[in-house]
Amino acid sequence: MPIADYNTYCKMLENAFENNFAYPAINVTSEITANAALAAFQELKSDGIIQVSTGGGKFASGTAVGDMVLGAISIAEHIHRAAEKLDINVALHTDHCPPNAVDTFMIPLIEESERRVAEGKLPLYQSHMLDASGLPLEENLDLSVPIYERMAKIGQIIEIEAGVVGGEEDGAAGSDDTPAESLYTTPEDMVRVYERMGEVDGKYMFAATFGNVHGTYKPGAVKLRPKLLKEGQDAIKARFGDDAKFWLVFHGGSGSDKADIHETLDYGVIKMNVDTDCQYAFSRAIADHFFSNYDKVLMIDGEVGDKKKGYDPRVYLKAAEVAMADRVKEACEDLRCVGKTLAGAAVA
């Protein structure tokens, strides 16, 4: 199916909210990693979100170019074409654009979508994340709201974050020494976010933090407080009425207990980023191939190796794609979105 349009994307997110599941948002850096995500969504009949960061875009453009916008455009164009061959809904998203990259990454991509919409096409990306969580809340919102207004005019959804996700992940705002109190968004902050974002006639996602940390950690090392999300949802309902709600995003989920993940789904999480675990699954398959086929990969002792089974990149990259797809499928199962595609359903 074609990439999800605005109405379909909103329907996807609302379906997740109403039915207590979430979409895995898979970070990709190449056609191969994008194909892994698409394969998993297709096999499990799950709609999904594929996303590109500034670093992912730069990598995708190649070492000779190193242009994060060009790389992000190239990946998106591939996914637009590949998704047409499938019978699921896919939305494209950019991840963690910091304030200092707004003018060099996010705005050029919005401009590309504005050009496409003017030609009668879908936006290139269906949503963008502006991560100004390192700024004081009012400065964060002063930056976010005008960009949100611009995006809403062409049918794009913005994602913002308040509070800091700890750890470090490809340009994310946090760091290993992030103060503990910054890892938790307060209900008061959530009320202010709802108030300011309500100035715009559009749709948005909100990454409220509740102890999240980027990267991989042993089970139990990350101290999540999912009930903060419920407290925030309750606070905006008390202030703005029963119809008030956030479409929430879960960052830094690697190493989280399944029980914590499932609890967040009851409080309005409709998107969970999955990056680190997919990187490991992809790399592990390549390492397995090289260790298991040492004599085929390398030309040793006067031999020539085995191109067909050893050092042809298609051999080990295919294995990596399959391994990453398996990890994406695990995420779909954890987030309870298996078999819940809206494809084929009428979207008003």
Decide which of 3.30.1360.120, 3.20.20.70, 3.40.50.150, 3.40.50.460 is the CATH code for 6-275.
3.20.20.70
Question: How confident is the prediction along the chain (348 residues), in pLDDT tens digits per residue?
Answer: 999 999 999 999 999 999 999 999 999 999 999 999 999 999 999 999 999 999 999 999 999 999 999 999 999 999 999 999 999 999 999 999 999 999 999 999 999 999 999 999 999 999 999 999 999 999 999 999 999 999 999 999 999 999 766 545 555 444 445 455 557 899 999 999 999 999 999 999 999 998 876 555 455 555 788 999 999 999 999 999 999 999 999 997 766 789 999 999 999 999 999 999 999 999 999 999 999 988 888 877 667 677 778 889 999 999 999 999 999 999 999 999 999 999 865 444
260 catalytic per annotation: no
Catalytic residue among 95, 170, 189, 275: 95
Give the integer Cα–Cα distance in Å for 38 and 101. Answer: 28
Q: Half-sphere exposure of residue 202, counting CA atoms within 13 Å on the CB side?
A: 25
Give the integer Cα–Cα distance in Å for 27 and 49. Answer: 9
| CA angle at 203 for the pair 202 and 205, rounded to the nearest 5° | 150
pTM: 0.91
What stretch of H or E contains 229?
helix 227-240
Longest distance between any two alpha carbons in the chain, whole Å = 76
Q: Which residues of 98-137 are buried (b: 16+ CB within 10 A; e: fewer)?
A: bbebbeebbbbbbebbbeebeeeebbbbbbbbbbbbbbeb
Domain ranges of the chain: 6-275
Are residues 140 and 132 in contact, defined by beta-carbon separation less than 8 angstroms?
A: yes
